[in-house]
A and B are shown apart, each in its own frame.
Chain A
Amino acid sequence: AQSVTQLDSHVSVSEGTPVLLRCNYSSSYSPSLFWYVQHPNKGLQLLLKYTSAATLVKGINGFEAEFKKSETSFHLTKPSAHMSDAAEYFCVVSDRTNAGKSTFGDGTTLTVKP
């Protein structure tokens, strides 16, 4: 069984300040982990993915995430928020032994204030 918990349903930051979106996961096997972003009325876009090659993963638009097995966490960060980062963010776990489905967290809404 696998599950994802996004610890914050809403995060609000000021433009130019750091962003931290928290994600904890549970997986019986070695997981693959993803962060997707969803802008209003747009499809889900992949930000980055962890595939065991490196624990610190760099993605698009300056986002990074660090896989910490001991903490079962995969938190998403960005040093400096931009207005265009305002969106819904989803953490996703995929069990490599069961390629049938991925499990999404409930999402974190990021608001960026000018």
Chain B
Amino acid sequence: DTGVSQNPRHKITKRGQNVTFRCDPISEHNRLYWYRQTLGQGPEFLTYFQNEAQLEKSRLLSDRFSAERPKGSFSTLEIQRTEQGDSAMYLCASSRASDSHNEQFFGPGTRLTVL
């Protein structure tokens, strides 16, 4: 068990391009979360999955954002037609559904810079 991993760690793109990030959770964890963190702020919830089902989405998740977890293991977060305001750190976390306290384990994040 190597923890939650995210790829890439850094992404620089031009405005208008599409980007996709990947998250691999801890193997026995069936919940997976995406957060966005901007400079000077705490992480903000974007969405979460239990197994392959996407159970909740934040209002922050505009229609340019889509997340999937097709087989209930890894997840991808895609941003279409990126804007400069999308520049942020995107964090992934995972947890066990059996843990009623919902302790989440975080990956190192993907830092997105939109030029």
Contacts and interface: CB of A to CB of B under 8 A. Distances in A.
Interface stretch (A61-69, A71-79, A97-105): A97-105
B85 interface: no
A42 B108 contact: yes
Nearest to A50: B101
Given A44-B91, A104-B44, A99 B31 contact: yes
Interface residues of A, number: 23
B interface residue count range (under 10 / 10 to 19 / 20 to 34 / 35 or more):
20 to 34
Nearest to A106: B42
Contacts, number: 61
B109 A43 contact: yes
Chain A contact residues, majority secondary structure: strand
A46 interface: yes
Contacts of B108: 42-43
B74 interface: no
B42 A32 contact: no
Contacts of B4: 43
Given A44-B91, A106-B40, A101 B45 contact: yes
Contacts of A36: 106
A54 to B, nearest CB: 13
Contacts of B40: 106-107
B42 A104 contact: yes
Nearest to B42: A104
Interface of B: 4, 31, 33, 35, 40-45, 48, 55-56, 58, 91, 93, 95, 97, 100-109
In the A-B complex, the 9 residue pairs with the closest CB atoms: A104-B42, A100-B56, A32-B101, A101-B45, A44-B106, A43-B108, A94-B102, A51-B101, A99-B102
